[in-house]
Structure 1
Amino acid sequence: MDRARNERGHNGNGAHHAAEAATKLRAIVVDDEPLARRGLEIRLADHADIELVGQYGDGAAAIAGLREHRPDLMFLDVQMPGMDGFETLRSIPAVEMPLVVFVTAYDHYAIRAFEASATDYLLKPVDDARLHQALAKVRQAHSQREARGHCAHLLGLLSELSGHPMLDLDEALKPDALEQLRREDKLAVRDGGRTVRVDLGSIRWIDAAGDYMCIHTDSETLVLRATMRDLEKQLDPQRFPRIHRSTIVNARRVVEMRPHTNGEGYLRLDCGQELKLSRSHRDKLDLLL
Structure 2
Amino acid sequence: MSRIRTLIVDDEPLARRGLQLHLQRHADIEVVGEAGSGGQATQAIAALRPQLMFLDVQMPGMDGFGVLRALPATQIPLTVFVTAFDQYAIAAFAASALDYLLKPVDDRRLDEAVERARTRLAARKAEDHYERLLRLMATMPAADRPQLDALMLDEASRTGGTLNLRDGQRLVRVALNAIRWVDAAGDYICIHTHDQTHVLRGTMQELEGRLDPRRFARVHRSSIVNLERVTQLRPHPNGEYFLVLDSGHELKLSRSYRDKVRVVDGRLLAAV
TM-score w.r.t. length of structure 1: 0.50
Relative to structure 1, is the Cα distance of residues 79 and 70 closer, same or farther in structure 2, using a 3 angstrom cutoff? same
Superposed counterparts of 1:246-257, under 5 Å: none
Relative to structure 1, is the Cα distance of residues 91 and 68 closer, same or farther in structure 2, using a 3 angstrom cutoff? same
What is the SS of the residue equivalent to 2:11?
coil
Moved more, 131-140 or 38-47: 131-140
| Larger relative contact order, structure 1 or 2 (CA cutoff 8 Å, min sep 6) | 2
Asked if 2 retains the 8 angstrom alpha-carbon contact of 1:31 and 1:77, the reply is: yes
Report the equivalent of 2:74: 95
What is the SS of the residue equivalent to 1:28?
strand
1:41 aligns with 2:20: yes
Report the equivalent of 1:123: 102
RMSD: 2.6
Report the equivalent of 1:170: 190
Q: Return the alpha-carbon distance in structure 1 between the equivalents of residues 112 and 25 of structure 2.
A: 14
Asked if 2 retains the 8 angstrom alpha-carbon contact of 1:155 and 1:172, the reply is: no
What is the SS of the residue equivalent to 1:169?
strand
Q: Return the alpha-carbon distance in structure 2 between the equivalents of residues 102 and 148 of structure 1.
A: 17
Report the equivalent of 1:133: 112
Q: Return the alpha-carbon distance in structure 1 between the equivalents of residues 84 and 24 of structure 2.
A: 22
Aligned partner of 2:20: which letter? E
Aligned partner of 1:43: which letter? H
Counting aligned pairs with the same residue, the percent is 50
Report the equivalent of 2:31: 52
Larger radius of gyration: 1
Relative to structure 1, is the Cα distance of residues 151 and 172 closer, same or farther in structure 2, using a 3 angstrom cutoff? farther
Q: Return the alpha-carbon distance in structure 2 between the equivalents of residues 169 and 38 of structure 1.
A: 35
Report the equivalent of 1:80: 59
Structure with the larger helix share? 1
Q: Return the alpha-carbon distance in structure 2 between the equivalents of residues 155 and 74 of structure 1.
A: 16
Aligned partner of 1:38: which letter? R
Structure with the larger strand share? 2
Q: Return the alpha-carbon distance in structure 2 between the equivalents of residues 42 and 171 of structure 1.
A: 38
1:26 aligns with 2:5: yes
1:114 aligns with 2:134: no
TM-score w.r.t. length of structure 2: 0.52
Q: How big is the shift at 1:131?
A: 0.5
Q: What is the aligned counterpart of 1:62 among 41, 46, 54?
A: 41
Q: Return the alpha-carbon distance in structure 2 between the equivalents of residues 114 and 153 of structure 1.
A: 9
What is the SS of the residue equivalent to 2:140?
helix
Asked if 2 retains the 8 angstrom alpha-carbon contact of 1:24 and 1:49, the reply is: yes
- Post-superposition Cα deviations, 1:193-239, rounded to whole Å, max 9, x if no partner, equal xxxxxxxxxxxxxxxxxxxxxxxxxxxxxxxxxxxxxxxxxxxxxxx
Report the equivalent of 1:283: none
Aligned partner of 2:73: which letter? A
Q: Structure 1 stretches of 5 or more lacking a match?
A: 1-19, 179-289
Q: What is the aligned counterpart of 1:158 among 111, 132, 137?
A: 137
Relative to structure 1, is the Cα distance of residues 118 and 73 closer, same or farther in structure 2, using a 3 angstrom cutoff? farther
Relative to structure 1, is the Cα distance of residues 69 and 118 closer, same or farther in structure 2, using a 3 angstrom cutoff? farther
Q: Return the alpha-carbon distance in structure 1 between the equivalents of residues 192 and 117 of structure 2.
A: 23
Superposed counterparts of 1:216-231, under 5 Å: none
Q: Return the alpha-carbon distance in structure 2 between the equivalents of residues 104 and 172 of structure 1.
A: 26
Number of equivalenced pairs: 157
